[in-house]
Amino acid sequence: MIFFLCLLLQDPQDPIQQGKKLFQGQCAVCHGIDGHGSTGPSLIRAKLPRAADEAALLRVIAEGIPNTNMPGSWQMSEREVKWTAAYVRSIGRVAEEKLPGDAAAGAEVYRKSACASCHIVNGTGQGYGPELTGIGLKRSAKHLRQSIVEPNADVPGESMTVVAITIQGQTFVGIRANEDSFSIQIRDMAGRVHSFQKAALKTLDKQKGSVMPPFDKLPPTDLENVVAYLATLRGDQ
């Protein structure tokens, strides 16, 4: 009898799993089944703009956001709100992992490999490739490792390379900064922004691959060290 009572009183083993179930029932309609967004925004992000800390996240789930489409959830108990919050945090933020590499040595590998010629960390470097200041919050070690060795494996939309050739025959290569149905904005290697009306382009080639060279010749220790270094970059985005 006492055993069963204990079962009833204790928190479940995994609040994230409980939260996932609640999320799929109550949140998925707008935020997508796994939080990738649908009519509501994606929650797969390290920092939620409306929920800077834990208390704010609990309040947003419980009470909603006034004057927006985000309703509250009066039907959930306090414990259910906490479970849901735990799940939402788990999908947006990579948990800290114990990694085999040495982060300090990895910073040196990062320097020697000239990563800063394309990436920015804490304001240092060139911004052609993705900003890496908070990359450790957003990407798992596995994903980081893969992106270094095989950059084409998963290219995020914000890193799309485009080649635009104007009707006059001039060629522009860069990262797509933005695009609408009539125009496109491209940032070139030097950081200059070029804007084109699509009707004024002869061709517009959106490349699937990444311009980053594969670092598949890095010695395994260097690779693990640089992954460990990137994983420590958990600064604000």
Partner 1 sequence: MRMLIFFAMMTLAAQVPYDRIRVNGEGNWLTYSGNYQGHRFSTLDQINKANVAGLKPLWIYQPANAGRFETSPIVADGVMYVTEPPTIVTALDPRTGRQVWRWERNLPADLQTIGFGRVNRGVAILDDSLYVGTLDGFIVALDRRSGAMRWQTKVADYKTGHCITSAPLAIKGLVITGVSGGEAGVRGFLAAYDAKTGKEVWRHWTIPEKGEPGVETWGGESYKTGAGTTWVTGSYDPETNTVYWGTGNPGPDWNGDVRPGDNLYTNSLLALDAATGKRKWYFQFTPHDTHDWDAVHVPMIFDAVVKGKPRKVIAVANRNAFYYVLDRVTGEFLNGVPYAKQTWAKGLDDKGRPEVIEGKEPTESGNLVWPSLQGATNWFSPSYSPLTRYVYVAVREMGAHYFKGEAIFKPGTFFAGGGERALPPDENFGAIRALDAATGAMKWEFKLHQPPWAGVMATAGGLVFGGSQEGNFYALDASDGKPLWQFQMGGQIAANPVSFLVDGKQRIAMPSRGVLVVFGLN
Told to check if 4 binds partner 1 by CB under 8 A, we report no
Told to check if 157 binds partner 1 by CB under 8 A, we report yes
**Nearest by Cα to 92 from 28, 26, 138:** 138
Which string of b and e fits 16-35 if b means at least 16 CB within 10 Å? bebbbebbeebbbeebbeeb
Told to check if 21 binds partner 1 by CB under 8 A, we report yes
What's at 137, amino acid-wise?
L
Q: Which two tokens stand for residue 104?
A: 């300090």
Which string of b and e fits 58-88 if b means at least 16 CB within 10 Å? bbbbbeeeeeeebeebeebeeebbbbbbbbb
Told to check if 50 binds partner 1 by CB under 8 A, we report no
Told to check if 49 binds partner 1 by CB under 8 A, we report no
Where is 79: in which H helix or E strand?
helix 78-92
Told to check if 38 binds partner 1 by CB under 8 A, we report yes
How many chain residues interact with partner 1 (CB under 8 A)? 32
Of residues 11, 14, 17, 25, which one binds partner 1 by CB under 8 A?
25
Closest CB to partner 1 among residues 26, 146: 26
Q: Under rule CB under 8 A, which residues in 173-212 are in contact with partner 1?
A: 179-183, 199, 206
What's at 56, amino acid-wise?
A
Told to check if 134 binds partner 1 by CB under 8 A, we report no
Closest CB to partner 1 among residues 20, 82: 20
Cα–Cα distance, 229 to 109 (Å, whole number): 9
Per CB under 8 A, the segment of 71-79, 101-109, 130-138, 221-229 that binds partner 1 is 71-79
Cα–Cα distance, 18 to 172 (Å, whole number): 50
Told to check if 153 binds partner 1 by CB under 8 A, we report no
Told to check if 69 binds partner 1 by CB under 8 A, we report yes
Alpha-carbon dihedral sign for residues 180, 183, 188, 190? negative
- Least CB distance to partner 1 at residue 206 (A): 7
Told to check if 39 binds partner 1 by CB under 8 A, we report yes
- Least CB distance to partner 1 at residue 4 (A): 24
Told to check if 90 binds partner 1 by CB under 8 A, we report no
Q: Which two tokens stand for residue 105?
A: 């040595």
| List of residues contacting partner 1 (CB under 8 A) | 21, 24-26, 28-30, 32-34, 36-39, 64, 67-69, 71-75, 157, 160, 179-183, 199, 206
